[in-house]
Chain A
Amino acid sequence: MRTRRARPALGTLVEIGVAARGAGASLSLGDAIASAFARIAVAEAQLSRFDPASPIHRFNAAAPGTRIAIGSDAARVLTAALLLHDASDGAFDISLGSGPVGWRCEGGSLLKIAAGTTLDLGGIGKGHAVDCAIATLRAAGVEAGWVNAGGDLRVFGDVALPVHLRDEVRGGVVPFADLRDGAFATSRLPAGHASVAAEECLWADALTKLVVASGDARHPLLERHGAVAWLH
């Protein structure tokens, strides 16, 4: 039996679905889904630039030389962002041009180097939050399910998730693919859209932005992360 729930989170609508609960599941279906939503809220509190308590918000308001303690969510996202920035010759930039070398991630802290550098994890954080929710479902004994944060989605276990694309000019959706054990994300181009499929949603999300920035659906970084891209 399939169960799906949706809540507003991450600035969009997040759907969590369970296709198979598993005999050894430690939580009820509803509780497993609720704990996955709770995990997303924890990640959002770390990664949001709007939440005044988040390290990213505090970084953006801080003076140069300030060191801000970060948790494992921010550390994973910032590390991946830096790797993508360097490997893409700066095409992927969470400072959105405000100072790509104005920040540094050192162990458990985020260091502000240059005044004026502000960070926005909107292009990668949602994917990470989806990965976190998937890990929570698995830890609760769920055998198959999916998480979709407004189009940044990931599916695991014995279920093929039909993915549809929205026509954002005229409306309506068209079938695109059946996805198993993987992640998928879509971003807007000046004309049209770019979609990326990858193992993990953080990479699908971030690499979509790379394809948008570079206009290259065969960017060498895609292969390095086991990802495939489409322009449409």
Chain B
Amino acid sequence: MIIALEIQLVAIVVSMACALAGVFLVLRRMALMSDAISHTVLLGIVLVFFITRDIASPLLVAGAAAMGVATVGLVELLRRTHLVREDASIGLVFPALFSIAVILITRYAGSVHLDTDAVLLGEIAFAPFRRFEAGGVDLGPRALWIMGGILLLNVAFIAALYKELKLSTFDPGLAAALGFAPGVLHYAFMTLVSITAVGAFDTVGSILVVALMIAPPATAYLLSDSLPRVLLLSALIAAIAALAGFWTAWLIDASIAGCMAASAGALFLLAFLLGPERGVIAVARRRERQRWEFARLMLAIHLLHHEGTAESTNENRESHLGEHLRWKPAFARRVVREAEDAELLLRLPDGRLSLTATGRDAAQRAMAG
């Protein structure tokens, strides 16, 4: 069971690191940059491997991260020509770099022990078998140390540059005017994203890095308006997705990374549908309530308008509302009943509707705007 525990720990650490970096990707509308970066880091790894010929070299991570930043730069360069829009420039840059990587790997497959499958899909289940040892002492899975370090790096980066990140995310113009160098910060942040993506794709693969980077922050963004809360919530949601994914995979004996992505998706769906403020259902219910509230107010205004006039015997009747407000009889009946319940009006013995003091007050206030 110690292996299962270690896998879960790695899964949680990976998800949380990705989620923290992802918050700013989502808020800066650069979500798909994670997709681009997680693909092009492959080229960085291949190129560095050709130079060092060592698959365990720490330079691989550096090369991969550099390629991630280069991707951002190339996309920006292409966009600046104003000949292609941003979405198209992302879609042009990363498949091209990725293609070069795939061709290099296929062509020199004999000499490269790089497996495109492993890169794209990762296998977190093997994480416990690659140990980190120091002086002959086993200190746990290597992935746990690497991703733990990257998680700390993310936390430190966000904590140290919180104010700058926040400002340049929500008001880049002001950030530039105040001398916060949003450009420098942008590339520093994209370096962080690249490092996180490289570390994570070793365990979950490049495509699911996107799920871990985007889904938990997007879920948190649906649930809260405050940046610190969104950060905390995404980390929490990421951890839940990791655990749920692990146990689902355990139960049905399927890909752990796939289950983690699917769980993150399921959590997003829950928030999208059931979110207390912005969920689809909450919004629909609020709209429905407002519809009736508005109808009651309309009724009160209508009654106020004709109150005390000669035609009030005729106008201020439930049966007349269909003609005047174009309400169907069933709708009118319900509005009148609810208005009665809310003590906005009284039904006189002769069937006329008469405003109460509360009703008159509400109608007058609505008219005054």
Q: Do A and B bind each other?
A: no
